[in-house]
Amino acid sequence: MTTNEDDQPLKPAGRLFIQPETHQIINGVLGLERAIDVEAARTVISDSLMIKHPRFSSLLVTDKHGGEHWRKTKVDINRHVIVRPDPPDKADSDRDEEVVNGYIADLTVSCPLTTDKPLWEVHVLTAHKCVVLRIHHALGDGISLMSLMLTLCRKLNDPDQTPTIVQIQTSPTRKPRKLGSLDNIIKVLKIIWFSLIYVTEFIMRGLWVKDRKTAVRGGEGVELWPRKLVTARFSLEDMKVVKSKVANATINDVLFGVISSGRLR
């Protein structure tokens, strides 16, 4: 495929996320209290800043040399907003979480994002008052995508205004101490020395060290195996207690600490 003058090349991070070995799609879930008006949702998305964003209105194309580019296109909102029909027996509110988890688990192995349209979808599960956002990681990182998703929301006390992210005031940083010539030389030597150590360790691990076999390690073709999604609930009060015990910590710090631990007790 030939490239156009207006095509934009992918950034290095974007190219990484579209490789078969690191193909990543973000699946986010929004649970709502009220029934979903699908037509209103389509209208909100069509008029939102998200549609005007270059990455959300561009196709992923590959030129004859194998280079990936973003190409501007017209967004067909009906191809991106996918409505899951209600089951014949409607929904059992006690099973909403189980059904939604199963739906997302199926999406992760059976429904890739096709490149004949921009790499995002909104799945509406009307019976479960739930919306599933599917966004390819090549479109952006978590912070930028969350900021963009906020443009779809409105404040309860002022429906015409979009939510804002509260900026946390931090104490002013101290000015760095001026270093002498000898201190600068020692600092540079340390940087070179530790860089050599880390690079050598990285190369040796890549050549000889293998991951340990664990109960959750898969085999060949593990990316196509059936999956099961399980959610966990954490008490906000408990998280506040942990936050109060750690100096200068936030609720986000506590949440990321739980996630990074890699296991639930």
Domain match, 130 and 255 both: no
Check if the beta carbon of residue 55 is closer than 8 Å to that of residue 139.
yes
Choosing from 120, 150, 180, the residue where a domain stops is: 150
- Non-local CB neighbours of 53 within 8 Å, separated by 6+ positions: 148
Residues 17 and 134 in one domain: yes
Between CA 34 and CA 208 the distance in angstroms is 55
Residues 21 and 140 placed together within one structural domain of the fold: yes
Residue at a domain's end among 150, 182, 212: 150
Decide: pTM greater than 0.95.
Answer: no
Same domain, 257 and 138: no
226-249 pLDDT per residue, tens: 777 778 888 889 989 999 988 888
Of 119, 150, 181, which residue is a domain's last? 150
pLDDT digits (tens, 9 = 90+) for 134-183: 999 988 887 778 777 777 777 778 877 777 765 554 555 566 666 668 88
Residues identified as active-site: 137
pLDDT in tens, 34-76: 888 889 889 888 888 888 888 899 999 888 888 889 999 999 9
Could you tell me the residue range of the domain that residue 12 belongs to? 8-150
Strand 120-125 relative to strand 58-62, pairing = unpaired
CA distance 250 to 255: 9
